[in-house]
């Protein structure tokens, strides 16, 4: 657990598998989590589920925009079919200086296709779409695409996974890495500019296929790297 003071984090889409897993893992390290949902009742239900897993965790149920207003760091973890609409609805809550970590993947399942395929996104990737749709001054980073939601939710499961982080600002990527790095077993790797997210997002589809064949919850671990420094 990090010894740094914990600032609140808003998770938009925390009622979904990845968002929920991230919420309980962060809460276990002492991070106050604002659980956002389009439906306040779903947010409240997710808080009750989270408290059952982390009884001493700090969780607050919020409508999405209220969650985004309440935290300087926001994780966007929604199905791609809701990505554009969610960003449109969040515009009034995304003030300049806020850090938006986009974990969305444009899986073909969003249009009744296969989860092992990705859709073409006009901007290049979901994260680039988020950057285009966000107000000026919002700091957009992509991350968490290759982390197994099932592994995150199972607090007894050792993670030992790398998180591939993309963004156009080293400072923004560092801020995202410090937050994500509070979770034991997650090591953040700088994967370059935000345009590289088109590659990291597609790895989700690859891992879905691998995990389906092997009945596993595998993630990614890069070898031969020194421990990354984000100072």
* Predicted local confidence at residue 115, as pLDDT: 84
Confidence class for position 229, pLDDT limits 50, 70, 90: low
* Per-residue model confidence as pLDDT tens digits over 176-228: 999 999 999 999 999 999 999 999 999 999 999 999 999 999 999 999 998 77
Kindly state the average pLDDT of the residues 71-80: 96
The CA distance from 164 to 145, in Å, is 8
Contact status, residue 77 vs residue 68, Cβ threshold 8 Å: no
Token couple for 118: 């990705």
The Cα 27–Cα 17 span in angstroms is 15
Q: Angle formed by the axes of helices 197-214 and 126-133, to 10°? A: 140
CA–CA separation, 151 vs 157, rounded Å?
6
Q: List the structure tokens of 167.
A: 């963004």
Q: Give the span between the Cα atoms of 125 and 199, in whole angstroms.
A: 8
Measured distance CA(67)–CA(86) in Å, rounded: 13
72 C-beta neighbours (distance < 10 Å), count? 15
Cα torsion through 139, 141, 144, 145, rounded to 10 = 130
CA nearest to 84, candidates 63, 102, 62, 108: 102
pLDDT digits (tens, 9 = 90+) for 94-137: 999 999 999 999 988 887 888 889 889 999 999 999 999 999 99
- In this structure, the strands spanning 9-12 and 59-63 are unpaired
């Amino acid at each position: 657990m990090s010894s740094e003071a914990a600032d609140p984090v808003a998770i938009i889409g925390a009622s979904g598998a990845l968002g929920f897993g991230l919420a309980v893992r962060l809460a276990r390290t002492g991070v106050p989590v604002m659980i956002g949902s389009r439906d306040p009742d779903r947010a409240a239900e997710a808080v009750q589920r989270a408290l059952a897993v982390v009884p001493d965790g700090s969780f607050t149920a919020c409508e999405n925009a209220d969650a985004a207003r309440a935290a300087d760091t926001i994780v966007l973890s929604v199905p791609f079919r809701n990505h554009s609409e969610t960003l449109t609805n969040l515009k009034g809550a995304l003030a300049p200086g806020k850090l938006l970590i986009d974990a969305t993947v444009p899986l073909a399942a969003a249009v009744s296709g296969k989860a092992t395929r990705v859709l073409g996104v006009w901007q290049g990737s979901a994260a680039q779409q988020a950057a285009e749709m966000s107000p000026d001054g919002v700091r957009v980073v992509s991350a968490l695409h290759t982390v197994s939601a099932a592994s995150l939710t199972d607090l007894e499961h050792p993670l030992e996974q790398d998180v591939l982080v993309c963004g156009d600002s080293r400072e923004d990527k560092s801020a995202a890495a410090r937050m994500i790095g509070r979770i034991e077993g997650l090591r953040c790797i700088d994967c370059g500019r935000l345009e590289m997210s088109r590659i990291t997002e597609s790895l989700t589809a690859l891992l879905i296929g691998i995990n389906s064949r092997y009945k596993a919850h595998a993630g990614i671990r890069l070898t031969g790297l020194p421990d990354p420094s984000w100072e």
